[in-house]
Structure 1
Amino acid sequence: MRIIRFLQQSIPTLGALTDDDMVYVLPQKDFMQLVQEADAKKITSLRLIEEIISNSAPLDKSCESLDLLVPIEAPEVWASGVTYERSRDARNYEATGGKLDATTFYDKVYNAVRPEIFFKSTAARTVGPNQEVFLRSDSKWQIPEPELGLVINKVGKILGYIVGNDMSCRDIEGENPLYLPQAKIWKNSCAIGPAIRLAETVEDPYQFQITCRIYRDEKLVVEGTASTGQLKRRFDELVSYLVRDNEIFDGTVLLTGTCIVPPNEFTLVDGDRIEIEISGIGTLINVVKSQSSVIKSI
């Protein structure tokens, strides 16, 4: 069972998306209200949804035909770095100017007890399905980072799983690790969606298959696949460090790192289309826009 949000007669509406792709309208206003209502009734969110949809009919529209919104307006989005071996290697390449056999502090954090966790976005900065992600104007080497996201409550309980795109500037990050916030945070640099897979419906979260495809002029130019089974760290471990001595809000999203990195000679350009698919959740699609094209459209 998945949760989506969409516009129905111009009104943001919560919906349940079944595994046979039927969409049911839910009475709750947002995902956290659904979770809190289930908790109050001492039942799971899945059980509550099943009770609701048992007495209603599905929409006569497919999910693909709906005007989808972010499935949750996450008050904050955080992200984890160097959680996959491929990510460590890419960071080393950036930091050393292309020395493939170099060893850096990224090797240390990959093997350290404490994971790398950084702030990524707020609700106002985060975009959803079919919305535009922007390129940073002072970077010449930019890529998407396809990631599984964890939707958590204020005490760190994992409520669901979501697709995330942690846009990144490899040149800025590689120039100096202290530039990480600038390499990660700018307008429309974070996308999440298209749905939240309820945690109680996932038997093994380390079996998610992740695929990233990038199209340029309708031609596939980059494709990569990975599995959350390749993670160096466990999800509960990452969450435990995020909530440690920290105030976290209900509906926070924690991105868990990437294992898919485009070729080193690749950079995103205006008009590229990014498709990130995670099995059992869905496909997050965003089109890339440069700052110059954004300014012209205003």
Structure 2
Amino acid sequence: MTSATFRIGGDLEVRRLGLGAMHLATEPSDAREASLALARRAVELGVTLIDTAHMYGGGANEELLAEALHPYPKDLLVATKVGVSRSPSGEWGLDGRPDVLRAQVDEALRRLRVDRVELLQLHRIDPETPLADQLGTLRELRTEGKVGRIGLSEVTVAELDRAREIVDIASVQNRYNLLDREHDAVLEACTAADIAFLPWRPVAHGSSGTRAEVAAVAAELGVTATQVALAWLLDRSPVVLPIPSTTRADHLEENLAAAAVHLTPAQRARLDGLTHEDA
């Protein structure tokens, strides 16, 4: 039986199906009110992992989650990311300079209304800044008590190995789904080391339902193609923590219901055989 929970960093237990907050509207409007309601509904439905980032609205997404959920339930983890900044011209770019990372962490603490970010992820490795400086800064912030655990995003196996020589890595967030398995090797490395693997874009933008094999398995189980894709991820490795993003309550409920979908070995084998090109 697939476990419903995972301990990030060996001690921080979350339910494996979380919520990606990236698409939640933050500008004052009916859409913002809907975003607040959706975040609250996610927690009501048992979500204990919500993923956000400084880049999502320049911190506005963090503020939205705090408005919706603070004071947070004791079992809720709001993970955020730093290391991307906006230039004076408004363009976003990688920025892992120590002073930038420190400033973004301080801003996250203020916006999220917390004393410590329990899981802080480096949004991307900045090739213009030595990795030891980037991760060394996050390690210092952990020592200072501002950060609980450190994660990475969009890394290779070699980058993960180098990072682990500098600091303990609790999570990796790479793009990964049933039809996009470019980072299979990274997932295998995370599985071997018991590092949480948070696949972003865990469903291939709705295209899963156009694949005959996925549609067939969904029909056999009486569920949706999206639920099949999420169930496959949960079955792929015990360290996988999908964080599907949505703005609709019905889609949220559909996503979370995937935790109860159980693939047979034969169905799993058929899905394992899919590639980008399969129809």
TM bucket (normalised to shorter chain) is: under 0.3
Greater share of strand residues, 1 or 2? Answer: 1
